[in-house]
Structure 1
Amino acid sequence: MVNQLELPTICHLIQKERLNHLQNIIFPKTDICSVEELFFRSNEQVLFNYENQTLELNQGGIVSFDTYFNAFYVDSWKEYTKVTTIGASLTLKGNFKITIYNIDRLGETKTVLAQKIINNNKIEKITVLENFDISAYTGMIYLEIEALENMCQISTGYFCTFTEADTKVKIAVVICTYKREAYVYKNMKLLEESFLKQTEYEDKLEVFIIDNGNTLERFNSPIIHVIPNKNAGGSGGFARGMLEVLQQQHEFSHTILMDDDILFDPEILQRIWNFLSLSNQKDICLGSSMLRLDKKYIQHEKGAYWNRNKGFVPVKPDMDLRKLKETLFNEVDEYIDYSGWWFFCFPVNLIKDNGLPYPFFIKMDDVEFCRRIGKKIIILNGICVWHEPFENKKNPSIEYYFFRNSMIYHSLYFQKEFSSIKAIKWFLKPLLKELFCYRYETAESIIKATFDFLEGPDALVANQPQDKHKEVCQSREKTTKDPELPFVYSKYIANLEKSENPLHRFFRLLTLNGHLLPNWFFFADDTFSDKGYSIVPFANSRPLNAFRAKKVLYYNLQTQEGFIVKFSRNRFFEVLINALWLSLVMLLKLPKLKTLYINSFSEFTSQAFWEKYLEIEPK
């Protein structure tokens, strides 16, 4: 028995038009994400069966899909696609009241759009919303289901449309990897078990794994290709992937660039394909939010923009996507000028029109490429990957690539604004902070980065990139697991909460954070309980925490890893003198240097350059 309120029938349309899926209703999975509030909200009369991927409801049980993954977010679909009407279906068994709601984008108004009473004695698909015009609505449309008897079940569901789709969309997924076999094999298994088995997506997607480490075995799949490649970093890997896509003679319409160390639900690839096939814009680009791998409900960023003084500025950081209002606000469009290449989708023709990545090795290649193509980037709620927090990955080699490549980026795109004085401030200020924190090796990495930048564009590609990377990675100032590290939580918290008055700060800076003070002014460091042994949060290092200490343990409480540094007056002044010398060289060389970088840019992003640099044999 089906009793429907306020719903038109479109049986005649079903016969004439093809149903196109927009997004599936998905459930938590133990091997991907089990934060249930990202998928559904429920009361105590509801149990989710992980093994069968089924919601089980007793009488009075209520499930609501007003969530990050399973609500339908109206605004982006209205603005960037041809979709004007939607439908929804559920596969279920039992006696239910199903209500469809709309909440505006600010979460201020909640409206009932339709309601159904359904009584199924077997599990089957039921249409609960048909041909609904979304033009008058904003925010989210979602389903709420209440069980009217015991032993009810909900297994699957989806939103759909009868809007005509472009069936010519075909996506090439390019994954760049270097000796991360476990991540790659897991993600390919997830793809093979879900997305690649669905007949409606045959001939709509292929995967190109660019193996910079030359360690992967081939997959027993005609659409998963493993391409051995010279280790030229992420830039070289993605450039090789783009070259492989270009050789397919117009077979692909879009490319997705993906990191190798992410976790994702294969559903996002279906949603990307569905969105592109219904898009009303030719050159639309789609990015992905990055969620934290350690706290899977916290968003690191939903895109970002580059600030000439601050560097990376993430948009909507630290959002708790379990919360309804934050999820709604997350869909409010904000300015971004790039999306990280952990997951970035764009039309193949933009490669032909704009060239290949710049040979940065790692860091800044996504920022530069997105700026170069200059297209609007859309990031939808429910399109995300999980990634290890960046603060866990910070080390001197990352600092090297950031400073070298950011100075090249400023030279390319901010030639007039990036004066010699600004360039000196750009590297000298963070270098002084590292010196004040006794992280002399990290400061030396900034020195190396600045020196290599001053060598000019030809030096960037003169040597084998993997040899340069080995040299850069020699530093010991990176967190490691060591049970011998004497960690004391009370000291950690004390340093986290430590403060100072203006007079103390003035004295500390005047003495170069203690490097001009005599030895007797420092605390003793005989044991970890002495004041001379400071324990500092790794991601929140401050010169204040090192002042007058002889040893500092930088500790990551989340991973329980760390490293110890020691006060050294000799190393401080050695690095400082080198930095002052490089400042003088920067003052003299930068105007001409910027021109060299700009003049060589077209060559370094050309197909001929990358084929030679990657030592690709002609086919």
Structure 2
Amino acid sequence: MKQVKIANVLLEGTRQFFMVPQLYVRADAPVREKGDSWLLDGPGTFDFTTFFNALSVQKYDRYTTAASYTLHLELNGDVKALYQTHAEAFDYSSRTLEQNFAPEGEGWHAIDLPIQYSESDVICGFLIEAAGPVRIRNSYYAASVPDDSIRDVELALSTTTFKKESYITHNIELVREKVLGSNDDIAGHFRMFVIDNGSTLDAEALSGNGVTVFPNRNVGGSGGFAYGMIKALDAGDVTNILLMDDDVEVSPESIKRTYQLLRILNNEYGEAFISGAMMNHDDPDVHWEDVGYMTEEGIYRPYKPMLHMSVLHDCVVSESFHPATDVYQDLKQKYAAWWYCCIPVSMIKKNGMPLPFFVRFDDAEYGLRCKPRFVTLNGICIWHDAFNMRYNAGVERYQTVRNGILGQAITKVAPSTDFLNEITKNIKLELVKFNYKDAELVCQGFEDFLRGPELFLQKDFSEMAFMAANKNKERQVPLAKLRQQALDELGIDVNRLCDDDVQRDIPLGGYEHGKVYNVYHTQLFERTLNGQLYGDLTPTMGQVQIIEGVGWSYQPGKLYGANTLLVINVQSKTGIIRHRDNERCKEIWQRFKNDVEAYKKNKIQLESDFEACRSKVTSVDYWKDYLDLN
């Protein structure tokens, strides 16, 4: 048997640590860096059964060849007690084993604790009771694995960037110092590809010592990640490629744990995708998603509920979660997003390259197509702006509409999903809110699919179509600029509004009516597209209403019968005034109905034509030509 270090005990001087130290340690006394160690400034209790520092024994047992685990600690100071901890699926606080492993005497002590756990334990950790100051350094978990089960791993990190120099240069230096420059085994088996779609980086200055910057034309995220895949394939020795967004914060320890995990995966998970969690940049303990799934309506959804990883119970929920896939079939339609996704090169050879979507659905389609097993672990993650902070109608109303139904036609990846349902919901949603520009984007996305594969296969079509969508989408203006217009036209002072004024809704028909009344008027509202197709809906609270500006918001009580909308996007601090235009609504709705009729008439031939181009569009040769690499 061989000992393999699988996770360092992590304390780091980062924004995340200072904002939410409970991700690392729960303490009732200060914790701070001191030279080459960290000071636990007791007296106090320091519980390391946390998101980053607990060992997910249940998952390691499932994913790997590990036979047992050891915790190695190096401590110096007044340790009153040292306990191993553990937690089961329903625990809200860690529980300690009885044995006290506290060292005696002065100076540094190296302690190796065999991890003891039962079948019901989800995670294990350790707790230090300090009678005074205690220092900790060079501590880690190790797994005991059969000598012949350790895999040879060469890991390439590929990140795609477009004019986000501050993010990407920071991540390059972080990787160069903390991963390539570390004393860990990964340093000799790792490289980083930076695909610069904006060609704005100094490639010569930033390349070297394990990092290579490739200037590239703007081919979107899908093109940039395809470029990285090709470089990994061409290298010959790369076994796994880690795809990661550029505008993220990452702990180098997540990359190290990914590498060590790859080395000890068992045969069942040898070709699994390792999917890192997306944590919320502004609330660093909020876990948004690690694995997603495609609903039967065609909506991207997180597989797990939103979790707060500063809370121990949520840490064990994340590691023990398994939904009712036998009841809800669409839960089987799983994928891993490419903000942090590690893919075996062997899976690329078997399943081909991604589709040239520019942005959106490329990662979901690829995961759905490959149908891999998925590996997730607490402590493997990135921090990213939350989805509601970066809504873009060009993406959500054009790219999402076109790419979902188009990808389904080519690779048949989501058999439980009818993308037309979601397209219909999207256009109705924009029309009832008088957002005619973005409703037209929905039509355009659908129509570009209806034009067949010849258009889609054109080399620069995806880029040009996305740029056109961004040009044609509704343009909201900064609230400072909107304020005077709102005062002059509506008599509303934007500066006096609060969050609740914007985001709350009212019952259809007001508060004095019952459920039957509200159901009837809900149906009337939906059938008539807020009275724009026919009828004369009488608003409950006045002709002018204030609504939320993010595209997926829906406030039918306020919208019902209104003629003018003051639209406020709280997240971006922008807004716009919209007016009812019944004739324009009828025109767009008729256009969409014509599109649906054409789709139903030509569906079989259309899907056959798209499916016929699958082998071409997913081939390395196609992508090398697309990326000018021939």
TM-score, scaled to structure 1: 0.88
Alpha-carbon distance in structure 2 between the residues aligned to 1:353 and 1:504: 53
Contact 2:505 2:555 in 1 (8 A): no
Q: Which moved more, 1:266-275 or 1:571-580?
A: 571-580
Unpaired stretches in structure 2, ≥5 consecutive residues: 323-330, 484-493, 509-517
- Distance, in Å, in 1 between the alignment partners of 2:443 and 2:258 is 42
Q: How far apart in 2 are the matches of 1:26 and 1:262?
A: 19
1:157 aligns with 2:139: yes
Deviation at 1:192, TM superposition (A): 2.1
| Alignment of structure 1 residues 145-544 onto 2, 5 Å | 145-148=128-131, 150-163=132-145, 164=147, 166=150, 168-200=152-184, 201-218=186-203, 219-249=206-236, 251-281=237-267, 282-334=270-322, 337-398=334-395, 399-414=397-412, 424-462=420-458, 464=460, 465-477=462-474, 481-486=478-483, 487=494, 488-490=496-498, 492-493=500-501, 496-500=504-508, 501-516=518-533, 532-536=544-548, 538=550, 540-544=553-557
> 1:533 Cα deviation (Å)?
4.3
> What's the secondary structure of 2:60's corresponding residue?
helix
Supply the distance in 2 between the matched residues of 1:445 and 1:437 (Cα, whole angstroms). Answer: 15
C-alpha change, 1:33 and 1:576, in structure 2 (3 Å) is: farther
Aligned residue-pair number: 587
Using the alignment, how far apart are the partners of 1:426 and 1:206 within structure 2?
41
For 1:27-176, what aligned pairs fall within 5 Å after superposition?
27-34=11-18, 35-43=20-28, 46-49=29-32, 54-59=38-43, 61-96=44-79, 97-107=81-91, 110=95, 112=97, 114-119=99-104, 121-122=106-107, 124=108, 126-130=110-114, 132=115, 136=119, 138-148=121-131, 150-163=132-145, 164=147, 166=150, 168-176=152-160
User: Equivalent residue of 1:247, what SS?
Assistant: helix
Mapped to 2, the partners of 1:478 and 1:154 lie a distance apart of 54
Measure the CA separation in 1 of the matches of 2:414 and 2:143. Answer: 50
Which moves more between the two structures, 171-180 or 393-402?
393-402
Given residue 278 of structure 2, which amino acid in structure 1 is its aligned partner? M
Q: Tell me the CA shift for residue 95 of structure 1.
A: 1.9
Higher helix share: 2
| Equivalent position amino acid for 1:515 in 2 | Q
Give the drift of 1:31. Answer: 3.6
Q: Provide the C-alpha distance between the structure 2 equivalents of 1:567 and 1:28, rounded to a whole number of angstroms.
A: 54
Cα pair distance change 1:111/1:155, threshold 3 Å: closer
TM-superposition CA deviations, 1:123-170 (whole Å, max 9, x none): x3521414x46575631111000012x233334521113434736211
1:87/1:160 contact within 8 Å kept = yes
Distance in 2 separating the partners of 1:28 and 1:137: 31
Is the contact between residue 286 and residue 378 of structure 1 (CA under 8 Å) also seen in structure 2? yes
Q: Residues 197 and 478 of structure 1: is their aligned pair in 2 closer, same or farther, counting only changes over 3 Å?
A: farther
1:38/1:69 contact within 8 Å kept: yes
Task: Give the whole-Å Cα distance in 2 for the aligned partners of 1:531 and 1:48.
Answer: 57
Q: What one-letter code is carried by the residue in structure 1 that aligns with 2:234?
A: Q
User: Counterpart amino acid of 2:50?
Assistant: T
Unpaired segments of 5 or more residues in structure 1?
1-16, 525-529
Distance, in Å, in 2 between the alignment partners of 1:193 and 1:585 is 57
Q: CA offset at residue 246 of structure 1?
A: 0.9
Cα–Cα, structure 1 residues 231 and 70, in superposed 2: closer, same or farther, change >3 Å?
A: same
Rounded to whole Å, the distance in 2 between the matches of 1:491 and 1:241 is 43
Partner SS state of residue 403, structure 2: helix
Please name the residue that 1:587 is paired with: 600
- Kept in 1, the 8 Å contact 2:457–2:617? The answer is no
Q: CA offset at residue 558 of structure 1?
A: 4.1
Aligned match of 1:569: 582
Q: Is the 8 A contact 1:172 1:208 kept in 2?
A: yes
Indicate if the aligned counterparts of 2:17 and 2:24 stay in contact, CA closer than 8 A: no
In 1, Cα distance between the equivalents of 2:465 and 2:581? 27
Matched letter for residue 536 of structure 1: E
Q: Percent identity?
A: 24
> CA separation in 2, counterparts of 1:374 and 1:416?
11
What TM-score, normalized to structure 2?
0.86
Decide whether aligned partners of structure 1 residues 415 and 491 sit closer, same or farther in structure 2, where only a CA change above 3 A counts: closer
Change (3 A) 1:493 1:91: farther
Q: Deviations over 1:336-391 (max 9, x none)?
A: 62110111112111111211111111111111111222210111111111111112
- Distance across 1 between alignment mates of 2:315 and 2:573: 31
Alignment partner of 1:546 is 2:559: yes
* 1:24 corresponds to 2:22: no
- How far apart in 2 are the matches of 1:556 and 1:155? 47
Partner amino acid for 2:84?
I
Distance change >3 Å, CA 496–CA 221, structure 1 → 2: same
C-alpha displacement of 1:114: 4.0
Tell whether the 8 Å contact from 2:531 to 2:537 is kept in structure 1 after alignment: no
Q: In structure 2, give the amino acid aligned to 1:240.
A: Y
- Asked if the contact 2:53/2:125 (under 8 Å) is kept, the reply is yes
Superposition deviation, residue 18 in structure 1: 5.6
1:226-259 deviations in Å (ceiling 9; x for gaps): 112232211111111111111112x111111111
Q: For the residues of structure 2 that align with 1:453 and 1:326, how far apart are their CA atoms? A: 42
Separation in 1, partners of 2:152, 2:192: 17
Change (3 A) 1:430 1:55: same
3-state SS, counterpart of residue 428 of structure 1: helix
Separation (CA, whole Å) in 1 of partners of 2:298 and 2:414: 18
Segment drifting more, 201-210 vs 511-520: 511-520
SS for the counterpart of 1:477 is coil
Does the Cα contact within 8 Å between 1:62 and 1:144 map onto a contact in 2?
yes
One-letter identity of the residue aligned with 2:178: S
C-alpha spacing 1:79/1:114, structure 2 compared with 1 (3 Å): farther
Offset of residue 405 of structure 1: 0.8
Does 279-288 or 323-332 show the bigger shift?
279-288
Tell me if the contact between 2:40 and 2:46 (Cα under 8 Å) persists in the aligned partners: no
User: SS in structure 2 opposite 1:505?
Assistant: helix
Residue type of the alignment partner of 2:406: I
* C-alpha distance 416-401 of structure 1, shift in aligned 2 (>3 A): closer
Deviations 1:105-136 (A, max 9, x none): 332894516421224533x3521414x46575
The one-letter code sitting in structure 2 at the alignment partner of 1:67 is T
Q: Call closer, same or farther: CA 1:595–1:416 in 2, change over 3 Å.
A: farther
Alpha-carbon contact 2:158-2:243 (below 8 Å) kept = yes
